[in-house]
Structure 1
Amino acid sequence: MAGNANEPRRSVSNRLLTVLGSFDVARPTLSLTEVTTITGLPMSTVRRLLRELTEWGALQRLPDQRYRIGLRLWRLGSLAPQQRDLRDAAWPFMQDLYEATHENVQLVVLDASTALCVEKISATRAVPTKTEVGGQLPLHATAVGKVLLAYATDNTLESIVAAGLKRVTSFTIVEPGRLDRALQDVRNAGIAYSREEMTKGAVSVACPVFGRDGAVLGALGIVTHSHVTLDRLAPAVRAAALGASRTYSARQPWAQAPLDRRE
């Protein structure tokens, strides 16, 4: 195949996925040249793959000749059962939490070494956040991320530390020992805090959402202004997360473990 001499071992499916993987929240639209630069594939190959993906509906070509994710791919992604079911179970409690606090509410799940936002409610007058649905957040610098990291496998924590704990603000925990102690506090209390560790002027509090088998499915949290007392919001966040846990578990009758030990 012309233009592929330098990559004889890359399959067609690998190249297709590489092209799709060049799109993310920070880069929702891309040109042919940008996709070529990001993927490192020959431009002739990228042009052909973009055309095929557009014809199938995975991508949409815009009037300015840029590309974005298409509706067909979005529909497929929405079928992911755990995220869909978790979102459906948590949504009413997220709404209640928003109505009670008028703060930013977010629901995230673990995605390899990051926290992936699967749902959020933004308050107009609340503190601006960097969180977008489909966006990723660092595990060590956010309350929702600390929840996921506290209940993740040892390998996950080791890989995060080995990669280096990036200092996002001057308050970010970047010492492995401090992070380990903070995660132990999360496991002991069932609640996590982040105080200007992700964004100056913003603080957050989060709690885990459990499945019926006791596994942590995600984290539900609030992001607010730094002058707000998080301890006042913590009970409401805990109640919302518990409600989401119970609702999700009630819809998974094949799992066995009760939730009572986490109350």
Structure 2
Amino acid sequence: MAESVAGRVFSVLDAFVGAPDTLRLTEIARRTGLPVPTALRMVRELVAWGGLERATDGSYRLGTRIRAIGAAAPCPRGLLDISLPALRTLTSRTGGHADIAVPSDGTALCLVSGDRLPLHATSPGKILLAHGHGPLTALRRHTRHTVTTPGTLASQLIRIRETGLATAHEEYALGELSFAAPVLRNGLAVAAVFVTLPTSAPYARVDGALREAARTIGRGLDAPAR
């Protein structure tokens, strides 16, 4: 199966982990294993989004948007950098879009996409709510499937704490199904790793892949600084 667009984007960002401050396109292609034209297309999209910046000598460096997202993460070691390899694996194993979210101003801030998701209507948001990040207020209806009854949502959060897994079936967007698991640091949930799929996609293996991604990222957070 060809690697998804999200996977190629992850690989470009991952190329900068442990790299010099700037990389030339040929080096990005070498580090990612992508053909140069494909790497150029991914780089241009990231530049347009603000994830990369083009230096005066033609090389590329991480952009202000990535740095701002990293600064917003609750973990001082750089949650996004630690998470990228696990997110790439999760994308590859499930065929969905993998991301990681942290609580920010009453929303779930996605560190890869930069999106802000409602807590009550998305799987990463429900993980954060279940672990005390945010109040049960302003339950806005996004689709006919959105849970807007506080008692029903509270029952879901109890179940999420028991199982360590949250789902959202077309609650934020029709045709979209997402799964999330908590990322633990020193035993406390600091983020939610999640994967989004079309409702028509098979998802029998998502549970195991998602839990493994969460454990991998958690181990990276708990690892002693070198």
Question: Which interval holds the TM-score relative to the shorter structure?
Answer: 0.5 to 0.7
Q: Distance in 1 between matches of 2:100 and 2:165?
A: 14
On the 8 A contact 1:144/1:219 being kept in 2, the answer is yes
How many pairs are equivalent? 163
SS in 1 for 2:92: helix
1:1-263 aligned at under 5 Å gives the runs 75=67, 78-79=70-71, 82=75, 85-119=78-112, 132-133=113-114, 135-152=115-132, 156-157=134-135, 160-161=136-137, 164-212=138-186, 214-251=187-224
Q: Which digits, 9 at most, give the CA deviation of each residue in 1:198-221, with x for residues without a partner?
A: 110000001000102x22110001
Question: Which residue identity does 1:140 align to in structure 2?
Answer: H
> Unpaired runs of 5+ in structure 2?
1-62
Question: Which residue identity does 1:168 align to in structure 2?
Answer: H
Q: Which digits, 9 at most, give the CA deviation of each residue in 1:151-192, with x for residues without a partner?
A: 015xx32xx32xx21000000000001100111110000000
Q: Mark the structure with the bigger radius of gyration.
A: 1
Q: Distance in 2 between matches of 1:232 and 1:248?
A: 25
Q: Which residue of 1 aligns with 2:44?
A: none
Q: Distance in 2 between matches of 1:109 and 1:152?
A: 12
TM-score by length of 1: 0.57
Q: Which residue of 1 aligns with 2:49?
A: none
> Alignment identity in percent?
31
SS in 2 for 1:108: strand
On the 8 A contact 2:87/2:98 being kept in 1, the answer is yes
How far apart are residue 72 of structure 1 and its match? 6.6
Q: Which residue of 2 aligns with 1:5?
A: none
Q: Distance in 2 between matches of 1:101 and 1:192?
A: 16
> Unpaired runs of 5+ in structure 1?
1-70, 120-131, 254-263
Question: Which residue identity does 2:100 align to in structure 1?
Answer: L
On the 8 A contact 2:130/2:158 being kept in 1, the answer is yes
| RMSD (Å), alpha carbons | 2.3
Q: Distance in 2 between matches of 1:76 and 1:236?
A: 28
